[in-house]
Amino acid sequence: MTKPKILKVAIPAVPFFQLFEYLAPENGENLQAGIRLEVPFGKTSKVAFLLATSSESDFPIEKLKPITHVIDDAPLLAEIDLKLLDWVANYYHHPIGEVMSAAFPAALRQGKDAVIKKLPKQSETDIKTTQLICNEGQQNAIDTVTKSFNEFNVFLLDGVTGSGKTEVYMQLIQTVLNRRQQVLVLVPEITLTPQLQQRFQARFSTHIAISHSKLTDLQRKNAWLLMQSGVCSLLLGTRSALFTPLPNLGLIILDEEHDSSFKQQEGFRFSARDVAVMRGKLANVPVVLGSATPSLESLYNVFLERYQHLPLPERAGNALPPLVQIIDIRQQKLQAGLSLKLLETITATLEKNEQILLFLNRRGFAPTLICDGCGWVARCVHCDANLVIHRNKNLLRCHHCGTEHRLISTCPACHCRDLTSLGLGTERLELVLTHLFPEKKVIRLDRDSTSKKGALDDFLTQIHNGDAHIILGTQLLAKGHHFPNVTLVAILDVDSGLFSTDFHSGEKLAQLIVQVSGRSGREQKQGNVLLQTRQPTHPLLIELLRDGYAKFAESELRLREMAFLPPFSYQALLRAHSEKEDLPQIFLQSVADLARNLNLQNVQILGAIPAPMARRAGQYRFQLLFQHENRAALHRLLRELIAQISTLKLATKVRWSLDVDPVDLF
Ligand code: ADP
Ligand code: ZN
Ligand code: ZN
């Protein structure tokens, strides 16, 4: 008698770490890993992914159920894709079913047919626009990466804004396309895809597949299948595009590699940058990480000679570096956060018909509504946070849980009518600027003003064709955009970044200052950057402005080394939350006890302590931090711990999640 064939499958959205076993159908001997199946699960049926077959099971065979049916004739994922996903599930200690589902667009997860209806017209990949003549740094970067085609190497393209990194990418892409291989290009933000897409379209005649979360299910499925089938050669997308199967992969490019948007901050918390490097390693292809402000991790990897450094120290063409100045705003009267000096510079810039970019990282009208009569403050009942005033929508809104109330004019505590809007948000700044410069067009770019489809494109057009004079916005503006006529950039409030408890904050602030500065004077005109601060002698600011980002990064790395912080150690953060106040702490305390019992390698276990925002969306939140200088030792403990955590009494009563290499300790 032949032994029955057993199928080991991953099931999405099921928080289990192991594979599920089913019986193969008759004549199912040749089913291959990488296909989708439908399987009975509880009272329903689910789409599952076949990962392995076997003739043996740890379970009694007669208890196994047969699958319902086979969806795909041929595997959608190749062996190398499965290998990567398996590595990722292990590294992030995340349930394999959820990792697998991240690799598929929603339509395929739901079991829809894996066929593309409309194929894009393909033309030969000739060069459309003429390419520029490269400078020495660019040519060196191109030559070095080109020598490494067909082997794994990580390159850090470390080029100031406007130094011509994109030009380097495009020439490398061209070579890979000529070799009939595929290229994966990742950017941190959806808003950065249109401009890169345009530049690619002007350069290459090949079809460009786009993948990010604002597309429809059908669009995403099509992009996925175009790449997976090898029909299309160039994929441009955000973090979620990372797992798209690419049978002829030749090169991975990740732009703005320092950006924390590459780290998924909920659910399956992977770092697209780190996984991209592993993907390059498995596929044996070069990975190019580009940034004007490289992360400390990547710079440290350069120091360790794991990554190759490709510096582009100068702006391309004739563009000059911007002039950066600090404005001391202590004891100054500010008008809606604007100092006299800044207002004068704005006026002078407008007179020259040049554009201005003002940066304020706070949405809404004002962050606090307070009663002058009794001191009452509008708080969110579900979070440890104030409600933010949104005048345009006539709302009070919590930025952490989304709770909304009508904007009130009477104090609910003392019934007086003396409610004051305290502080400054982008809406208020917009209003004030419109009053101060009535004949000028002011536009505001933040998550509220760009939420409608097409809104951001409209704004970008208005900036590019010169209709907009003053552009104000949040960090949405800080990234990668190229505005040739902007010559004045100002950060209204640098100080909020100087006093965070998170050790990443110095690095993030320095990156922000340099990135925002990079938005000014990108072509022939001299750019000016003004930083308003009440800490004009703060070492970070002084050092950054005097010595530049590279020197800043060096001394910041030295500080991290002395404190044993990443990248000199490795961290994982276990978070727990519950509606019941004491459960998360009790749970994490028992996890900590369990971990201490298992801990042969002396992994540091810190906590449990309340999360920086101890209550959010009605949930009480605690966290437990693990840290060790040896990555393998940390992961050995985590593996054991995760395997045993379900034996704890409270494991099913609280919600918990593990964040490996956290970038945000919130
Ligand atoms: P980055 O991506 O580093 O910000 P870009 O590639 O966008 O820089 O280049 C900035 C500007 O300089 C673009 O307008 C680009 O066309 C131009 N440029 C790039 N390389 C050169 C070069 N070698 N000589 C002259 N101009 C260049
Ligand atoms: Zn009151
Ligand atoms: Zn809230």
188: CATH: 3.40.50.300
Q: What is the pLDDT of residue 126?
A: 58
Percent of the chain residues topping a pLDDT of 70:
97
Q: What is the pLDDT of residue 412?
A: 96
Please give the residue range of the domain that contains residue 606. Answer: 570-660
Atom of ligand 1 nearest to the CA of 167: 6
Averaged pLDDT for residues 557-564: 96
Report if residue 65 sits inside a domain.
Answer: yes
Report the C-alpha dihedral over residues 476, 477, 478, 483, rounded to 10 degrees.
150
Report if residue 79 sits inside a domain.
Answer: yes
Averaged pLDDT for residues 280-306: 98
Q: Is the dihedral of CA 478, 365, 435, 336 positive or negative?
A: negative
CATH number of residue 94's parent domain: 3.40.1440.60
Residues 444 and 495 in one domain: yes
User: Measured from the CB, is residue 313 less than 6 Å from ligand 1?
Assistant: no
Report if residue 373 sits inside a domain.
Answer: yes
Q: Is the pLDDT assigned to residue 131 strictly greater than 80? A: no
Domain endpoint, select from 72, 90, 109: 109
| Cross-strand partners of 324 | 529
Give this prediction's pTM.
0.94
Which tokens belong to 61? Answer: 């065979």
**Residue 306 three-state SS:** coil
Atom of ligand 1 nearest to the CA of 518: 4
Residues 392 and 261 in one domain: no
Q: What is the pLDDT of residue 488?
A: 94
Averaged pLDDT for residues 96-100: 94
Q: Is the pLDDT assigned to residue 214 strictly greater than 90? A: no
Q: What is the pLDDT of residue 127?
A: 57
pLDDT category at 130 given cuts 50, 70, 90 is: low
- Tallying the residues shown for the chain, one arrives at 666
Residues 506 and 605 in one domain: no
User: Measured from the CB, is residue 134 less than 6 Å from ligand 1?
Assistant: yes
| Rounded CA separation 452/424 (Å) | 24
One-letter amino acid identity for 432? V
The tens digit of pLDDT for each residue in 577-591 reads 999 999 999 999 999
Q: What is the pLDDT of residue 28?
A: 81
In contact, 528 and 521? CB cutoff 8 Å: yes
Q: In what order do the strands lie in the sheet with 604-616?
A: 604-616, 619-628, 570-578, 655-660
Residues 342 and 194 in one domain: no
Q: What is the pLDDT of residue 189?
A: 86
Residues 449 and 521 in one domain: yes
The tens digit of pLDDT for each residue in 391-441 reads 999 999 999 999 999 999 999 999 999 999 999 999 999 999 999 999 999
Q: What is the pLDDT of residue 3?
A: 66
First to last CA, the chain: 58
User: Measured from the CB, is residue 81 less than 6 Å from ligand 1?
Assistant: no
Residues 374 and 245 in one domain: no
Report if residue 117 sits inside a domain.
Answer: no
Q: What is the pLDDT of residue 122?
A: 61
Report if residue 576 sits inside a domain.
Answer: yes
User: Measured from the CB, is residue 311 less than 6 Å from ligand 1?
Assistant: no
Query: Ligand 1 pocket: which of 129, 138, 167, 479 to mutate (most atoms <8 Å of CB)?
Result: 167
Q: What is the pLDDT of residue 60?
A: 87
Domain endpoint, select from 562, 580, 600: 562
In whole angstroms, how far apart are CA 424 and each of 293, 362, 427, 493? 28, 8, 8, 10
Report if residue 125 sits inside a domain.
Answer: no
User: Measured from the CB, is residue 308 less than 6 Å from ligand 1?
Assistant: no
CA 434 to chain centre: 33
Domain endpoint, select from 532, 562, 592: 562
Residues 468, 469, 470: CA angle, nearest 5 degrees:
105
Residues 82 and 155 in one domain: no
Q: Is the pLDDT assigned to residue 125 strictly greater than 60? A: no
Q: What is the pLDDT of residue 168?
A: 97
CA 599 to chain centre: 32
Q: What is the pLDDT of residue 451?
A: 85
Q: Is the pLDDT assigned to residue 4 strictly greater than 80? A: no
The tens digit of pLDDT for each residue in 509-551 reads 999 999 888 887 666 778 899 999 999 999 999 999 999 999 9
Q: Is the pLDDT assigned to residue 319 strictly greater than 90? A: no
Least Cα distance to 232 among 203, 251, 208, 253 occurs for 208
Q: What is the pLDDT of residue 480?
A: 66
Report if residue 558 sits inside a domain.
Answer: yes
Residues 353 and 299 in one domain: no
Which tokens belong to 216? Answer: 């429809």
The 8 Å CB, 24+ separation contacts for 435-444 are 436/335, 436/343, 437/346, 437/350, 437/469, 437/470, 440/350, 440/469, 440/470, 441/467, 441/468, 441/469, 441/470, 442/468, 442/469, 442/470, 442/471, 442/472, 443/468, 443/470, 443/471, 443/472, 444/472, 444/473
Q: What is the pLDDT of residue 599?
A: 82
Q: Is the pLDDT assigned to residue 281 strictly greater than 70? A: yes
Q: How far is the CA of 443 from the centre of ligand 1 (A)?
A: 27
Least Cα distance to 271 among 666, 570, 663, 665 occurs for 663
Between these two residues, 14 and 170, which has the higher pLDDT value?
170
Secondary structure in 3-state letters for 50-79: EEEEECCCCCCHHHCCECCEECCCCCCCCH
The tens digit of pLDDT for each residue in 16-65 reads 888 999 999 988 878 999 999 999 998 999 999 999 999 888 888 888 99
Q: 570-578 and 528-533 as β-strands: parallel, antiparallel, unpaired?
A: unpaired
Averaged pLDDT for residues 192-201: 90
User: Measured from the CB, is residue 159 less than 6 Å from ligand 1?
Assistant: yes
Count of domains in the chain? 5
Query: Ligand 1 pocket: which of 134, 165, 166 to mutate (most atoms <8 Å of CB)?
Result: 166
Residues 335 and 472 in one domain: yes
pLDDT category at 501 given cuts 50, 70, 90 is: confident
Q: What is the pLDDT of residue 343?
A: 97
Nearest Cα residue to atom 20 of ligand 1: 164
Helix (H) or strand (E) holding 175: helix 165-178
pLDDT category at 307 given cuts 50, 70, 90 is: very high
Report if residue 318 sits inside a domain.
Answer: no
In contact, 107 and 217? CB cutoff 8 Å: yes
Residues 289 and 356 in one domain: no
Q: Is the pLDDT assigned to residue 124 strictly greater than 60? A: no
| Cross-strand partners of 549 | none
Q: How far is the CA of 372 from the centre of ligand 2 (A)?
A: 7
Which tokens belong to 594? Answer: 């369990």
Average pLDDT over all residues of the chain: 92
CATH number of residue 606's parent domain: 3.30.70.600
Q: What is the pLDDT of residue 526?
A: 81
Highest mean pLDDT: which range of 183-197, 321-335, 450-464, 551-565: 551-565
Query: 298 φ, ψ to 5°?
Result: -70, -40
Residues 558 and 455 in one domain: yes
Averaged pLDDT for residues 132-144: 94
The tens digit of pLDDT for each residue in 635-644 reads 999 999 999 9
Can you tell me which residue has the tokens 């499925």? Answer: 221
Residues 216 and 247 in one domain: yes
